[in-house]
Amino acid sequence: MTLILRDKTSLRAWRAKLTGGARLGFVPTMGALHAGHMSLMAQARGAADTVIASIFVNPLQFGPNEDLSRYPRPLEADIDKLEAAGVDALFLPSVEDMYPAGASTMVEETMVSGPLCGATRPGHFRGVTTVVLKLLNLVQPHVAVFGQKDAQQCAVIERMVRDLDVPVDILRGPIVREADGLALSSRNVYLSAEDRAAAPLLHQSLRAVEAAYLGGEHDAEKLAGIGLAVLAQSDRIKPQYWEVRDPESLGAIATVGARGALLAVAAHLGTTRLIDNLLLSGDV
């Protein structure tokens, strides 16, 4: 049975009892768990002796007009999934416990967080880095696992951990998809039937650009144009960005060279914002 730790005091007491030689794996989440999350739990289990997850819908990473109030919170179902996966413990803190009255310290990465979602969701990554550093300080894991679907989040966290000398190994879990290619996301439940039918075009746009790249097209602007043309097949999709970026720094590039590239797309379908990405190898 998964042990539920509802505050920082309980978490610290549990962590203090773990034997020194055992490796601890950590998977932070906002809940509404799906098969993508469960693959991260399995990856953590393969890299550690004990696995702890967290569920915390972090208010700092939501903008004023975003979906904090309606973000899905199926807690009982989430706990059942964690128990079925053999997760040893769940950290389930309150907002008041994580951010005591008067809290005035934030953590901000200032380069990797700038483009893509950083340009369209101001303050989002500051909220992410603040809560992730707090969680890493509290849990003190040897390894933490994050999903590649949020590629920029992974890059920001990796940079923060490097820059601040946080003693943890960051692993990325591969994107898990529906049969039609749509990346699993807790927000997919918001999609209407019509928007759900159009949503696989995000992945199709990435694959079309990958095919063009493998066919010899390396110009970043032309590749992005190919991706946008695929999204234009549905008027239900309102692109926010479709970009070809350096895979590590996320800086702008003119051509895809030896380092490869990250293809990144964000779009609105109705009121739902979806993201997806694909890594291009640089050895073509």
- Say if residue 94 carries a ligand binding annotation: no
In one-letter notation, the amino acid at residue 127 is G
Contact assessment for residue 166 and residue 135, using Cβ atoms and an 8 Å cutoff: no
- Residue 37 annotated as binding? yes
Is 218 marked as a binding-site residue?
no
Answer whether 201's CB lies under 8 Å from 233's CB.
yes
| 205 is annotated as contributing to ligand binding | no
DSSP 171-205: EEEPP-B-TTSPBP-GGGGG--HHHHHHTTHHHHH
What is the Cα gyration radius of the chain? 19
| 33 assigned ligand-binding residue | yes
Please name the residue ranges forming H helices in the chain. Answer: 8-17, 35-47, 75-84, 95-98, 117-120, 124-139, 151-163, 193-198, 201-214, 220-231
Consult the annotation and say whether 148 binds a ligand.
yes
User: Is 37 considered catalytic here?
Assistant: yes
Q: Is 123 assigned to a binding site?
A: no
Pick the catalytic residue from 37, 142, 203, 268: 37
Residue 149 labeled ligand binder: yes
- Annotation-wise, does 36 bind a ligand? yes
Residue 152 marked as a ligand binder:
no
Q: Which residues pair with 50 in a beta bridge?
A: 24
Which residue's structure tokens are 């005091």?
9
Residue type, position 258, single letter: A
Residue among 99, 98, 95, 80 at smallest CA distance from 4: 80
Residue 58, number of CB atoms within 10 A of its CB: 20
263 is an annotated ligand-binding site residue: no
113 labelled as ligand-binding?
A: no
Is 147 part of any known ligand binding site?
A: yes
Q: What are phi and psi of 4, to 5 degrees?
A: -100, 120
Residues annotated within the binding site for ATP are 30-37, 147-150, 176, 184-187
Residues annotated within the binding site for beta-alanine are 61
Residues annotated within the binding site for (R)-pantoate are 61, 153
Residues annotated within the binding site are 30-37, 61, 147-150, 153, 176, 184-187
Give me the active site residues, please: 37
